[in-house]
């Protein structure tokens, strides 16, 4: 569990457009590059692990759905994470993820190793991992939100009720 100290700050001054853009870029880089810790991996969360690549057309098509679903699952015990199939260096992976519009966490290789994940044979491939890191479902090909929700439902998980 991360601990943060809260301090009272003076009233913020208005930022210029360039300062605002820089702040947004820093927030995006921090969010995409901050790895999940071993504790977070085993924190009772189910994980939807989506393998993607920049050259995979179906991967690019399903990314917006995963972005939306990730935001909608934010208050549940299910998180969506991505894995660059090409295993590019971290900086390049983050650059590609940004260009592809990926808004959910992209895992570091060390985290993938902790999960015991092996790259799939075809793309896109999405895994559903239990809190104990057991692969409960392997979904091959482009997925819809309904496909993902059905895979979760088969595990007894009802995460969205809208």
Cis bond leading into 93, ω under 30°? no
Q: How confident is the model at residue 18 (pLDDT cuts 50, 70, 90)?
A: low
DSSP result, 71-125 = HHTTTSSEEEEEEETT---HHHHHHHHHHHT--SEE--HHHHHHHT----SSSSE
The whole-number pLDDT of residue 161 equals 55
Fold of 43-154: Glutaredoxin (3.40.30)
How far is residue 130 CA from its own chain's centroid?
Answer: 16
3-class SS of residue 59 = helix
Domain ranges of the chain: 43-154
Q: What are phi and psi of 138, to 5 degrees?
A: -125, 115
Q: What is the pLDDT of residues 95-138, one digit of tens each?
A: 999 999 999 999 998 898 888 888 999 999 999 999 999 999 99
Residue 113: per-residue pLDDT: 87
Average of per-residue pLDDT across 32-50: 67
Any idea what DSSP says for residue 12? P
Is pLDDT at 37 greater than 60 in this prediction?
A: no
The C-alpha atoms of residue 132 and residue 114 are separated, in whole angstroms, by 12
> Average of pLDDT values for 39-64?
88
The pLDDT, as a whole number, for residue 118 is: 86
Q: Does the predicted TM-score (pTM) go above 0.95?
A: no
């Amino acid at each position: 569990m991360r601990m943060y100290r809260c301090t009272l700050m003076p009233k913020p001054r208005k930022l210029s457009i360039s300062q605002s853009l820089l702040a947004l870029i820093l927030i995006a880089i921090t969010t995409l590059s901050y790895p999940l810790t071993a504790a977070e991996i085993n924190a009772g969360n189910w994980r939807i692990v989506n393998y993607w690549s920049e050259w995979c057309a179906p991967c690019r098509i399903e990314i917006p759905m995963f972005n939306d679903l990730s935001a909608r699952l934010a208050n549940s015990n299910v998180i969506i994470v991505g894995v660059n199939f090409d295993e590019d260096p971290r900086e390049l992976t983050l650059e590609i993820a940004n260009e592809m519009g990926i808004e959910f966490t992209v895992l570091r290789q060390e985290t993938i190793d902790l999960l015991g994940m092996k790259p799939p044979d075809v793309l896109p491939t999405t895994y559903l991992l239990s809190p104990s890191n057991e692969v409960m479902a392997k979904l091959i090909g482009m997925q819809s939100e309904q496909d993902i929700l059905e895979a979760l439902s088969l595990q007894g998980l009802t995460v969205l009720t809208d």
